[in-house]
Structure 1
Amino acid sequence: IENLGRMPTPPYIKEEVEKDEWYQTVYARKKGSIAAPTAGLHFTEQLLKKLMEKGVEIVFVTLHVGLATFMPVERVKEEKEYYCISEEAAEKINNASGKIVAVGTTTVKALESSSRNRRVIASSGWSNLFISPGYCFQSPINGIITNFHMPQSSPLLLTAAFGGIKRVMKAYEEALKRDYKFLSFGDAMLILKCSK
């Protein structure tokens, strides 16, 4: 695969990505995704270092982004994505004294797939969890850093479920007004959990 294959990219990226590192997070370790968890592309080694210097504890989980990210909403449940949350990661998340911010919607799905009553349980497996407005969140996350997504996509529905439809749509309207970039190489936003 290394010699003959090409790095998978989303269908909306028409040109070949010149360097693999341009479409890979700096903290990626295990192969298996069909696409990068793109919210993580915003994080450089320098940014991670600065966050840690400020006392932010960074916890890593394994995610293998699947085709669900790019599928029409009505077909998303058919597609599963692999995740692995170690004992150490679950313990750190559960014992966090500050806000817990997930980087990307795939991270949210992994945490939701392994959480009960706002506690993360160490686990690994395949999730086809579909999160849309009305979903009752189980994980302890307080915020999500995520890119601006395509209309009628499962990542956008998850973001709206977490942040509230009106708040998220208002953020999208502002992004369009200010010419923010969307999708994989676009801008990101921090969305805080909507209190019902």
Structure 2
Amino acid sequence: MVEKKKSQAEKNNQSATEEEIEKAVKGSKRDSNAADEKNSASAAASSSAVSDAEPAVDYEDKFYRAEAEMQNMQQRFNKERASILKYEGQDLAKSILPALDNLERALSVSAGDPASKKIQDGVELTYKSLSNALTDNGIVKIGRAGDQFDPNLHNAIQKTPIDDPEKQKEGTIAVVLQKGYQLHDRVLRPAMVSVYTK
């Protein structure tokens, strides 16, 4: 009986030892699982920090692009506004040019009597005043006899043969039939000219 008790005590000790070993193994597994969880949590945190940083970089990039687009729009608006201001009198000038032509024609007629001379003086003052107003607003005449023909500025409506090769050069304007006008760098009306040809 004593032997039975001894063997039973040994079995109990052995089972207790086995239970302790199992507990220790389970504990180490739990610790390693906890460590793995901590590692995976820290990895997830670092990856989420990286992924959080990526949208921040993306938003920053979008912000700079939007800011650049706004600056470009502002510059485009300023250029358009300057262009509008630069050429704002264009339509009015085009409307006035025929009246200016008529005043020139009236001045080309010679006045015989004193009353006609006074009228012609009044027409001349009106013509000069109108011409000065156009010049003050950046509108200049284009096309003079002797100038080189430029198809961007002149409209050749006839050819004139060269009589004197020393004075008359091919491709130059022989006669201006109707004056042209230019507003800054924009042609309002090309000059109608006759060009010397061989």
Q: Which TM class, normalised by the smaller chain length?
A: under 0.3
TM-score computed with the length of structure 2 as normaliser:
0.19
Select the structure that is richer in helix.
2
Higher relative contact order (CA 8 A, sep 6+): 1
TM-score computed with the length of structure 1 as normaliser:
0.19
Larger radius of gyration: 2
